[in-house]
Amino acid sequence: MIVRTRPNLFTLLFTMQGSILPRVAPKLVGIVAVACLVVWAEARWPAFFPVTAGVAPFTLVGLALSIFLSFRNNACYERWWEARKAWGSLIGEVRNLARLLPALLPPAEAAPQLRRLSAFAHGLHARLRGLDEALAVDGKAPGASLCGPNPTDSVLAALTRDLAGLMQAGRLTDIQFGLLEARIEALSGVHTACERIANTPLPFAYTLLVYRTAWLYCLLLPVGLTGSLGWATPVVVALVGYTFFGLDALGDELEEPFGTEPNDLPLDAMVRAVDRIVHHALGEPMPAPLTPDGYWLR
């Protein structure tokens, strides 16, 4: 995720870090080349362009395309924001458990449960990014991934099982167990919400429709502009293409909020935040928080 203050005008024009321009540059080069070819052809063989198409049809199509791009980007941003809220809830619930567990359990019994919270965050991070989930879990809570087919959920199952055993042994009251289990249930809800977002993309027909229409619009636009703008046509086409293809590419990044693109969520930084909470509760030195590298917080 790009973290920076709004730059001044000069920097705003030339900033590449976090910009969508490098991703859409090849497409812009292609449509500008087509625009130049159309302008050259109109100047060389004006007989083939007896009537200028005009901009009215392109205005109508551009308006419809803008509305549809806005709808798609709003849907993608909603997925991104829901994912951010889910991870915010995860950090909040870890704080709650890091406060409750040491208060209700002796240090020797609270410590392994606290480490499982860190294992849960690392496991979910690995699951969402297609990494080795079992290895991530076992790195923080050895053996936790062996409890079932879903290593991250197995961490919560082991946590509930141990707390239930303490309740049955009389070390926890049923009310105390209920308080802790409510927090564990909330973590399970975060897990489910993240899986739902990761496994349910926007319908492919949306992307296909926007992509096709944007290409057709930008490739045909020079025909309607060359009669009135001449060699300024490629500049206008480039600006229009940058807007349409840029919004489409930005929507692609926001649609998958758990990826590793510059505008995706900083999962590494949020997992580090969980580690800091757990280490503080254990009375151990806390790892340093992750900071943006060239304005990019990973």
Distance between CA atoms of residues 69 and 252, nearest Å: 11
List the structure tokens of 291. 């900071």
Mean pLDDT of 238-254: 85
Q: What is the mean pLDDT of the chain?
A: 83
CA distance 228 to 226: 6
Q: Which pLDDT band, with edges at 50, 70 and 90, does 91 fall under?
A: very high
Task: Count the Cβ atoms, other than its own, within 10 Å of residue 298.
Answer: 15
CA geometry: angle at 256 spanning 252 and 261, to 5°? Answer: 75
Do the Cβ atoms of 125 and 136 come closer than 8 Å? yes
What is the rounded distance in angstroms from the CA atom of residue 82 to the CA atom of residue 80?
Answer: 6
Count helices and strands (H / E) in the chain: 10, 0
174 close to 167: Cβ distance less than 8 angstroms: yes
**pLDDT surpasses 70 at 98:** yes
pLDDT confidence band for 185 (50 / 70 / 90): very high
Report the pLDDT value the prediction gives residue 275, as an integer from 0 to 100. Answer: 92
Q: Which two tokens stand for residue 50?
A: 């007896």
For residue 5, give the DSSP letter: P
Yes or no: say if 181 and 167 are a contact pair by the CB < 8 Å rule. no
pLDDT band at 264 (very low <50, low <70, confident <90, very high): confident
Around Cβ 204, how many Cβ atoms within 10 Å? 8
Averaged pLDDT for residues 227-236: 81
Q: Give the CA distances from residue 3 to residues 72, 90, 129, 262, 264, in Å, rounded to whole numbers and listed in that order.
A: 24, 21, 21, 10, 11
> Which pair of structure tokens corresponds to residue 136?
């991530």
- Residue 50 reports pLDDT greater than 60: no
**Contacts with 7 (C-beta within 8 Å, 6 or more apart), sequence order:** 15
What is the model's pLDDT at position 191?
Answer: 94
Mean pLDDT of 250-276: 88
Q: Is 74 exposed, middle or buried, given 0-12, 13-18 or 19+ CB atoms closer than 10 A?
A: exposed
The whole-number pLDDT of residue 14 equals 59
Cα 144 to chain centroid, rounded: 28
Residue 189 one-letter amino acid: G
d(CA 271, CA 273): 5
Cα distance between residue 151 and residue 157, in whole Å: 10
Residue 88 has a pLDDT of: 93
Other C-beta atoms closer than 10 Å to the C-beta of 212 total 10
Question: Which DSSP string do the residues of 129-151 spell out, in sequence order?
Answer: TTS-HHHHHHTTSTTGGGGSS-H
DSSP code of residue 289: P
pLDDT, one tens digit per residue, over 107-152 is 888 889 999 999 999 999 999 988 888 888 887 777 665 556 788 8
> 5 pLDDT exceeds 70?
no
Q: Which H or E element spans position 239?
A: helix 233-255
What is the radius of gyration, based on Cα positions, of the chain? Answer: 27
Q: How confident is the model at residue 47 (pLDDT cuts 50, 70, 90)?
A: low
The pLDDT confidence band at residue 55, using thresholds 50, 70 and 90, is low
Long-range CB pairs of 47-53, under 8 A, 24+ apart, other chains included:
49/226, 49/227, 52/224, 52/226, 52/227, 52/228, 53/223, 53/224, 53/227
